[in-house]
Homo-oligomer: A and B are copies of this chain.
């Protein structure tokens, strides 16, 4: 059973929670916008369902709600940003703004971030570039849950990549995906429905194929995009590794198995190799390559041609970002459905901060 809450109500509630955690009004506003962009776009695992997780990280002293975010090193087109232990929901937009400003003058801007926390959905940050006629990119490392090809051990996060590309008449191209076969949120759905997972999503603690969506609890791991060697899992492993290195080795954050866990009940890995989580954000001005109007006309043609590609019987060829855009329109109008356990979580957060959640 699910309850439907309006976007403005959830936005106000979430903002107030961040304020009570000690965020400035400006940061709380941004954090709630970023967090809820996940719910609007249908990525339910990364939205308000995680609010209580952020609260617990803050209670454990792992989030600085008054961060002094700043550039520690820069060139005309690059920078490293220190997030000062702040919410990734606030640090990543700050860093993306640096990338966008650099792109204004240098044509492109690339920012690696250390000392941050989870940043919500990658797509939000990449899409910041669109209104300025720029291509945006965002990636982040995350809690180690993924085994490289041929490994038993969890070494990488689901390390998402988002790329947003502006068009003219057509809506923008927005790709946003984990570099695993399936994201952890998909396993949670199967757990709730008590269904098996397809082979290729997870392995057991010995590295053998498994269909048990609870396998991670037993020492199993998520699999890189591709699933197994025969189906190209080494390519998914490459992608996850590149995200990890760009986000954390370039910046000085914790990488690989040293990435701090999102759940506060797990201890931080001993002997850290850097500071906090890492992100990587990029922006390229379209007119740093060719006139923006010309580029957009061709993007429209690209999108139109792919959308009209001959479909497999009964299917429809989609452009990256299509399903999320439709979902956002629907949920802005009709509200955001929350599952019972998520609602219960939010009510506990409300009690903790002496707030009211009107449903």
Instruction: Give chain A's interface residues, CB within 8 Å of chain B.
Output: 73-78, 80, 105-108, 110, 112, 147-153, 155, 163, 165, 173, 175, 177-182, 198, 200-201, 206-207, 225-227, 230-232, 234-239, 241-242, 244-245, 249-252, 255-257, 273-274, 284-286, 288-290, 294-295, 298-299, 301-302, 305-306, 309-313, 315-318, 320
A236 to chain B, nearest CB (A): 7
Whether B75 lies near A107 (C-beta < 8 A) is yes
A327 to chain B, nearest CB (A): 15
Whether A231 lies near B227 (C-beta < 8 A) is yes
**Cα distance, A178 to B284, chains bound together (Å):** 24
Note all chain B residues with C-beta closer than 8 A to A234: 177, 318, 320
Whether B106 lies near A317 (C-beta < 8 A) is no
- Say whether, besides A108-B110, A150-B318, A317-B148, A312 and B232 are in contact (CB < 8 Å): no
**Cα distance, A149 to B177, chains bound together (Å):** 15
Contacting residue for A306 out of B108, B241, B299, B318, CB 8 A? B241
Whether A231 lies near B306 (C-beta < 8 A) is no
Whether B152 lies near A231 (C-beta < 8 A) is no
Note all chain B residues with C-beta closer than 8 A to A178: 235
Q: Jot down 29 A-B pairs with beta carbons below 8 A, ordered by A.
A: A74-B107, A75-B106, A75-B285, A77-B77, A77-B107, A77-B288, A78-B289, A106-B107, A148-B306, A148-B309, A150-B316, A150-B317, A165-B242, A173-B241, A175-B238, A175-B242, A178-B235, A181-B232, A225-B225, A225-B235, A227-B231, A237-B320, A249-B298, A250-B289, A250-B290, A250-B295, A252-B298, A255-B302, A273-B298
Whether A236 lies near B225 (C-beta < 8 A) is yes
Whether A305 lies near B241 (C-beta < 8 A) is no
Whether B149 lies near A252 (C-beta < 8 A) is no
Whether A245 lies near B108 (C-beta < 8 A) is no
**Cα distance, A230 to B182, chains bound together (Å):** 8
Whether B76 lies near A107 (C-beta < 8 A) is yes
**Cα distance, A206 to B312, chains bound together (Å):** 6
Whether B165 lies near A245 (C-beta < 8 A) is yes
Note all chain B residues with C-beta closer than 8 A to A290: 73, 80, 250-252
A45 to chain B, nearest CB (A): 16
Note all chain B residues with C-beta closer than 8 A to A106: 75-77, 106-107
Whether A198 lies near B230 (C-beta < 8 A) is yes
- Closest B residue to A319 by beta carbon equals B241
Contacting residue for A251 out of B108, B153, B289, B299, CB 8 A? B289
Note all chain B residues with C-beta closer than 8 A to A309: 147-148, 151-153, 155
**Cα distance, A227 to B200, chains bound together (Å):** 11
**Cα distance, A239 to B148, chains bound together (Å):** 19
**Cα distance, A73 to B286, chains bound together (Å):** 12
- Say whether, besides A73-B289, A289-B250, A241 and B175 are in contact (CB < 8 Å): yes
Whether B235 lies near A288 (C-beta < 8 A) is no
Contacting residue for A153 out of B177, B179, B245, B310, CB 8 A? B310
Note all chain B residues with C-beta closer than 8 A to A152: 309-312
Note all chain B residues with C-beta closer than 8 A to A273: 298, 301
Whether B295 lies near A249 (C-beta < 8 A) is yes
A326 to chain B, nearest CB (A): 15
Note all chain B residues with C-beta closer than 8 A to A177: 232, 234-235, 238
**Cα distance, A199 to B298, chains bound together (Å):** 35
